[in-house]
């Protein structure tokens, strides 16, 4: 949480803040117009960090969507697969709100997204997902900028240093476990509360229309590990344990909502597989990097596969996967030459195979926009 911008939660009814500079994210909800949640064109106004424009054509949707597109929330959306998915949603006419721990990173990511998708509804705010107040404020801010939230993606996560648990600082263990698991629990809670409030009231026209079909309008996604996915991963035990915990969170929350007769909110596991991000590449050994040649993909490749699946989701619970077990086995069996001698991403010494015109971080992560840190 930034000391220079104290919390001003919506429930306190604080005075409206001045508009943020163009192209920048914002820390807390200000005086943002709520985007229309059903039908009709948007207003075309720009207040603070929320930009709304004319509606995207309904034909841009993979699944029958509101005329103005879906409302999307992505935690950890300033880089990696979160940022790549934000781009993919925006390209399809959806409204996107992202968050990250650093205000500077959020500002840079929002600026880059607006530059690539001028006039689209994109917003961002700094949020520490381990802080209940931050999560509460961010959820309210997201709803105030994108309107109805249809898909909330709990992507925020971190990994500890690649050392045995015996050598990891206790403070780092707490930070990783809180971010990956506690943060997701808090975000699930906030997202579900918002989505329950969004549900049509019993007896309304929309309620009668929805009751005629099994359509589940709102969805929460946790980026967990399947059992086989954890076995393929070379990440630390703190990372694996919390990611497996997210899988149980998904199952348990889905069961709780069903028991509470909440049939408008679905809870899903989302598995992007191995993605060439900081979480995967920081501290990775050369032999692991050669395996990445056959098992890993760039964030954009994963996003292009997963976003249509997310937009087509219509059940109360499911597993949305990029890499299935049979596909992973096939990749390893057919990719032996790349594993032994190097290939498309890393050579046999573990050095990044650079593409002309692209910029890379020291750990081999490709920069998705100029200011990405």
For the record, the structure tokens of 121 come out as 């509804």
Q: What is the pLDDT of residue 49?
A: 47
Tokens 């429930």 found at: 11
For the record, the structure tokens of 27 come out as 């820390």
CA–CA distance, 59 with 96 (Å, rounded to integer) = 19
Q: Which residues of the chain have pLDDT under 50?
A: 1-24, 28-60, 202-213
Q: What is the pLDDT of residue 195?
A: 98
Going along the chain from its start, the domains and CATH numbers come out as 18-161+170-199+215-341 (3.40.50.720)
CA–CA distance, 335 with 339 (Å, rounded to integer) = 6
Q: What is the pLDDT of residue 211?
A: 45
Closest CA to 332 of 292, 363, 364, 366: 292
Beta-carbon count within 10 A of 325 CB: 14
CA–CA distance, 371 with 373 (Å, rounded to integer) = 6
Q: Cβ(230)–Cβ(168) under 8 Å? A: no
CA–CA distance, 298 with 249 (Å, rounded to integer) = 27
Q: Cβ(269)–Cβ(224) under 8 Å? A: yes
CA–CA distance, 56 with 263 (Å, rounded to integer) = 28
Q: Cβ(92)–Cβ(61) under 8 Å? A: yes
């Amino acid at each position: 949480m930034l000391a220079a911008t104290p919390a001003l939660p919506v429930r306190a009814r604080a005075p409206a803040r001045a508009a943020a500079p163009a192209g920048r994210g914002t820390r807390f909800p200000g005086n943002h117009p709520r985007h229309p949640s059903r039908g009709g064109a948007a207003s075309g106004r720009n207040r603070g960090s929320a930009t709304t424009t004319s509606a995207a054509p309904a034909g841009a949707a993979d699944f029958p969507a509101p005329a103005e597109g879906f409302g999307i929330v992505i935690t950890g959306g300033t880089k990696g697969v979160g940022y790549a998915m934000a781009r993919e949603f925006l390209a399809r006419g959806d409204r996107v709100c992202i968050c990250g721990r650093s205000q500077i990173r959020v500002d840079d990511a929002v600026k880059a997204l607006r530059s690539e998708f001028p006039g689209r509804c994109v917003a961002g705010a700094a949020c520490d997902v381990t802080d209940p107040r931050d999560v509460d404020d961010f959820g309210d801010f997201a709803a105030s900028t994108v309107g109805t939230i249809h898909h909330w993606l709990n992507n925020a996560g971190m990994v500890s240093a690649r050392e045995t648990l015996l050598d990891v600082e206790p403070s780092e263990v707490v930070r990783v476990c809180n971010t990956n698991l506690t943060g997701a629990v808090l975000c699930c809670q906030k997202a579900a509360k918002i989505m329950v409030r969004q549900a049509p009231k019993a007896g309304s026209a929309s309620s009668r229309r929805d009751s005629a079909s099994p359509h589940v309008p709102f969805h929460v996604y946790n980026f967990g590990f399947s059992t086989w996915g954890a076995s393929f991963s070379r990440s630390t035990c703190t990372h694996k344990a919390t990611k497996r915990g997210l899988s149980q969170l998904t199952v348990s929350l889905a069961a709780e909502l069903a028991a509470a007769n909440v049939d408008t909110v679905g809870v899903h596991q989302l598995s992007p597989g191995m993605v060439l991000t900081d979480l995967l590449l920081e501290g990775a050994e050369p032999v692991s990097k050669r395996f990445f040649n056959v098992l890993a993909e760039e964030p954009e490749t994963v996003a292009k596969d997963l976003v249509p699946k997310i937009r087509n989701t219509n059940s109360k619970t499911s597993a949305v996967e990029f890499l299935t077990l049979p596909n992973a086995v096939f990749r390893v069996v057919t990719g032996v030459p790349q594993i032994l001698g190097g290939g498309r991403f890393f050579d046999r010494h573990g050095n990044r195979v650079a593409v002309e015109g692209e910029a890379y971080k020291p750990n081999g992560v490709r920069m998705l926009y100029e200011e990405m840190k």
